[in-house]
Amino acid sequence: MSILSILFINLCMIVSIFSNNSEAKTFSFKEATIDDIQIAFKQNKLTSRQLVEYYLGEIQKANPILKGIIEVNPDALFLADKADQERKSGALLSSRLHGIPVLIKDNIATKDKLNTTAGSLALVGSIVPQDAGVVKKLRKAGAIILGKATMTEWAAFRSGILPSGWNGRLGQALNPYVASADPSGSSTGSATSVAANLAAVSLGTETAGSILYPSNANSVVGIKPTVGLTSRAGVIPISHRQDTVGPICRTVSDAVEVLDVIVGFDRDDFPATKKASTYIPHGGYRQFLKADGLKDKRLGILKDLFGSNDIKAYQHHFNTLRQKGAVLVDNLEIPNIDLVYTAIVNAQDIALFAEFKMDLNAYLKKLVHTRVRSLADVIAFNKISVSEKFKEYGQDIMVTAEKTNGIGKLEREALRNITKVCKYGFEKMMKVNKLDALLSPGPDIASLLAIGGYPGINVPAGYDKSGVPFGLSFGGLKGSEPTLIEIAYGFEQATHIRKPPPSHPR
């Protein structure tokens, strides 16, 4: 090849690179929604590679401080190039998540070069048998696995004094708005990283508040789906009865886009996903993104959830809800409230301790390779690992769980009590008052939703005097996601409260 030919090729490459960079510069990456990204893809103003490169650059700058991402996928750029090639070839794209980078909580298995550890050093180097059910659905949709989000170690089921967002692998995650504020958990990094624009969208998990709480604390939208609506196969468990996987995103519409992809039957999580699949509406969830979604909705306000200070803080939101056509039913009381609190505080713990040991042992036994095969092995590992800070944080929850021996008389009684209070407490109140949803200041409704496997959505609602975010949560009966989405989207569109965090947390 002549020197002139080589010079011409190099010049073309430089022009192409300059052209691509110029097009990308016209795209506003910060706070970009899935819709923004897909429009830019179609107009050839953006590629998946440019999008991934942007997030990798932001991660490199901010993650050493925020500690929201525990690992970046070394194949992320390769997957981005693959997505770009598919789009360029004119192939029929399977989903609106095609080419979109997704951050995955570190307790959700990925069969790739990433670890799946629930933040624990005990599982570093372990090999999972396959992708988690929700990850399979993401890959099928053409999404790019960007990396693993940090989390409270073992989803906060190691110790009662373990700080939210801390784990032995990465240390303490920070709230991107106010460094001294609680980043909450256990899906800490899924919330903080999306809030700080280190990823487009993310997945979290919840057993009792782990999506709603960090979403509230970091000014993002979190959807806690009905248990079984999304597969838990391949998720490091606490309880098959309460665990669920859901999206954490900057907007309701993005969260719904992700939800549409990850819901549905999974033979590896049977019969829960089979039963819950009957709740999935024909045509998916996007159709419920209605600006007038609040019209004629009956929203309940519980005495026990909203104190006098909460009423003052949320009064303007109540006014907005009414102005948009919602009917607020206040001063409500849950029937048998004392029994409900007993179930939340006592019966739930009794059941979770036994379920955790059984479910975790079953998960660990299925791993292709691991240094720990049981909860007892994890407890022993924590005692000898300096980085796990056993002396500082202990592992009282794990020790209590290890002492259980399956579902015995005590556990069966606890489970019966939980079923009873759900039916004659929360469900009765919702049905008698013909409520579409129950309102909650922040995530205070989380425990009530957890014990019955009910869905909930958190939407940003404001910032206190120090700049710490807070949200408004909506909870409903099983399968009520369509109604909750209408309500959450209607509220979001009426308020537009979310704002990105400062470049450095205060």
Please confirm, yes or no, whether 210 is among the known catalytic residues.
Answer: yes
202 is catalytic: no
- How many Cα atoms are found within 13 Å in the side-chain-facing hemisphere of 165? 26
Query: Hey, what's the torsion of the CAs at 185, 191, 193, 198, to 10 degrees?
Result: 160
Structure tokens at 351: 């059941």
133, containing H or E segment: helix 133-140
Q: At what angle do helices 48-66 and 3-25 cross, to 10 degrees?
A: 60
* Residue 337 C-beta-side C-alpha neighbours within 13 Å: 8
Residue 463, C-beta contacts closer than 8 angstroms, at least 6 positions apart = 177, 219, 469, 470, 499
User: Which one of the listed residues 67, 105, 148, 478 is annotated catalytic?
Assistant: 105
Alpha helices in 307-408 (DSSP H): 308-323, 337-342, 348-366, 375-384, 390-393, 396-402
**β-strand partners of 127:** 369
Question: Where do we find the tokens 């205070």?
Answer: 444
Q: Considering just the CA atoms, what is the radius of gyration of the chain in Å?
A: 23
Q: Which amino acid is at 302?
A: L
* Angle at alpha carbon of residue 312, lines to 308 and 315, rounded to 5°: 125
* 3-class secondary structure, 302: strand
Phi, psi of 355 (to 5 degrees): -65, -40
The residue with tokens 């190099």 is: 10
Q: Are strands 244-249 and 201-206 parallel, antiparallel or unpaired?
A: antiparallel
Catalytic-labelled residue, pool 120, 190, 210, 239: 210
* Catalytic residue (one of 48, 159, 164, 186): 186
Listed in sequence order, the DSSP H helices in 34-75 are 34-42, 48-66
Task: Please report which helix (H) or strand (E) contains residue 330, including its range.
Answer: strand 327-332
Calpha distance 407→38 (Å, rounded): 49
**Residues 155 and 108 sit within 8 Å (Cβ to Cβ):** no
Query: Residue 172 and residue 30: Cα distance in Å, rounded?
Result: 25
- The dihedral over CA atoms of 157, 158, 164, 168, expressed in degrees to the nearest 10, equals -130
Residue 253: active-site member: no
Which residues are tagged catalytic?
A: 105, 186, 210
